[in-house]
Amino acid sequence: MFRNLTKLLHKMRCPGQITFRHEHKMPEHLKSVETDKDPEFSAMVLYYYHRAAQTMEPELVKEMEKYPHMKPEERQARVSAILNLLGSVSTSVEVNFPIVRKNGNYEIISGYRSHHVRHRLPLKGGIRYALDVNGNEVKALAAIMTFKCACVSLPYGGSKGGVCIDPKEYTVDELQTITRRYTMELLKRNMIGPGIDVPAPDVNTGPREMAWIVDQYQKTFGYKDINSSAIVTGKPVHIGGINGRHSATGRGVWKTGDLFLKDKDWMDLIKWKTGWKDKRVIVQGFGNVGSFAAKFVHEAGAKVIGIKEFDVSLYNKDGIDINDLFSYKDEKKSIKGYPKAEESKEELLTADTDILMPCATQKVITSENANDIKAKLILEGANGPTTPAGEKILLKKGVLLVPDLYCNAGGVTVSYFEYLKNINHVSYGKMNSKTTSELIIELINSINESLQQCGDSFPEIKANKKLKRIRECTTEADIVDAALQTVMESAALGIKQMANKFELCNDLRQATYIWSALKIFQAMESSGISQQ
């Protein structure tokens, strides 16, 4: 069967003649990405994937030796076919629909949704509202979602969607109309659903938009679906959302850094001592991701000396109290004017610091400023903040760069927990948290009672700090936080193993793509490569 399928694939590519590829090639249109000053984000994602595919291909061909009936060239062809599938987008749609503005004018709205690879269902990916939303960007973001979900071992394929609007130019009622109409257009095409594709918030969308989507689905296509609330994640808690989702991406950024900072082997690579204590940190962006990432590294013992926002840069060489800054921002709706740090005109991305966390926009680290960056550890909280040309310079300088693919996967991980909560119809901790807590308490009491019966004088047994944390982990937010950390720890172990296995030194991005692509490859190969 495999032999016939392989021959068929090659006949489709080269009618009348069967040729075999002997190695995975970087597509011609991507070869310049490595040196481009401002490459398209979609090209960056594909470039990273194909580079990883070139590295891992010999290992995959070797794995095909489990098929003794295949000739060497047929094994190679099978691997090439699957790698090519991984580099393409399965489905992409553009929808256009009219709305009537508040002023009576008619306007045509364009929306997009892309499904990358359907090796696991449902697919997962956000919905963004922005003027730069287009077909190519959505396809690239869908691809990175596939690899991101595989990186942290979530049973999802990757997708992404968006609507090409500036939401600031529309009223709340108009935005609700756009969201509901966009939802219907996707539902009519079977592009979203609890078992098909589960959207989530992204740029300029949030719990409000997710609530509208759930409501629209429940009133139309999903009126008989018992799992209808699972059509999206990132919902308000009172309609099926999950506690801990808001801070999850920022917590994930902190946790990824923590897993490398506490690893002596990796710290030896950059000649650092382990731990966060006294490490200087600069954060680019103080939105949802950057603010919580700053909060958690601050609480871990690091010194946040700089925060760069679109309208102001704050600097304090002695460290900024992030919790105090949170309070100030809640009151003023901006960090501008914060009295306990000076407003700096210096470019903070290249300022003297130990750790840099770009958590705002794409392509802020390029070949033009990479040589000037002084940080030895970079945690990518944003999608695509570093261009391949910039990264090449950083790697040569010995910088340890933890890539976006892994670093900002905390959000989708907790979205997965929300999805499970919705389809299981029970919140975390409701069934067993009290039992677990009481078990620990009574266990310690039982030990103390037994010791007292011995007659001798024994000190009272008390729970240590870690046991207390387990005993008190009873709320949904606590349980979600503990589970998130477990997932990130497992992924870090796999990434480190790939870096060692393929001798990639400090090239963690390639190690992460290999770690992700390897799992997707195995799922597709064992299921049959024509499953799409």
Question: Alpha-carbon distance 415 to 162, whole Å?
Answer: 18
Active-site choice (7, 66, 71, 160): 160
Question: Alpha-carbon distance 348 to 359, whole Å?
Answer: 13
Percent of the chain that is helix, strand, coil (3-state, to 5): 50, 15, 35
Question: Alpha-carbon distance 388 to 371, whole Å?
Answer: 14
Burial of 499 (0-12, 13-18, 19+ CB in 10 A): buried
Question: Alpha-carbon distance 215 to 116, whole Å?
Answer: 27
Cβ neighbours for 459, distance < 8 A, ≥ 6 positions apart: none
SS3 labels along 217-228: HHHCCCCCCCCH
For the question of residue 160 being annotated catalytic, the response is yes
Question: Alpha-carbon distance 91 to 160, whole Å?
Answer: 11
Q: Any known ligand binding at 249?
A: yes
Phi, psi (5° rounding) for residue 303? -110, 105
Amino acid at 530: S
Give the position of tokens 């310079």.
393
Burial of 157 (0-12, 13-18, 19+ CB in 10 A): buried
Pairing outcome for strands 106-115 and 157-163: antiparallel
Amino acid at 100: V
Q: Which residues of 54-84 are buried (b: 16+ CB within 10 A; e: fewer)?
A: ebbbeebbeebeeeeebeeebbbbbbbbbbb
Alpha-carbon 174 to chain mean position: 30
Give the position of tokens 């992204």.
202
8-state DSSP, 412: H
Question: Alpha-carbon distance 32 to 157, whole Å?
Answer: 29
Residue-level length of the chain: 532
Cis amide prior to 122 (ω within 30 degrees)? yes
Question: Alpha-carbon distance 329 to 115, whole Å?
Answer: 38
Could you tell me the two tokens for 486? 């477990």
Q: Any known ligand binding at 415?
A: yes
Q: On the CB side of 106, how many CA atoms lie within 13 Å of its CA?
A: 4
Phi, psi (5° rounding) for residue 54? -60, -40
Q: Any known ligand binding at 124?
A: yes
> Cα dist. 156→10, 138, 199, 316 in Å?
29, 17, 12, 42
Annotated binding site for substrate: 124, 148, 415
Annotated binding site for NAD(+): 249, 288
Enzyme catalytic residues: 160
Annotated binding site: 124, 148, 249, 288, 415
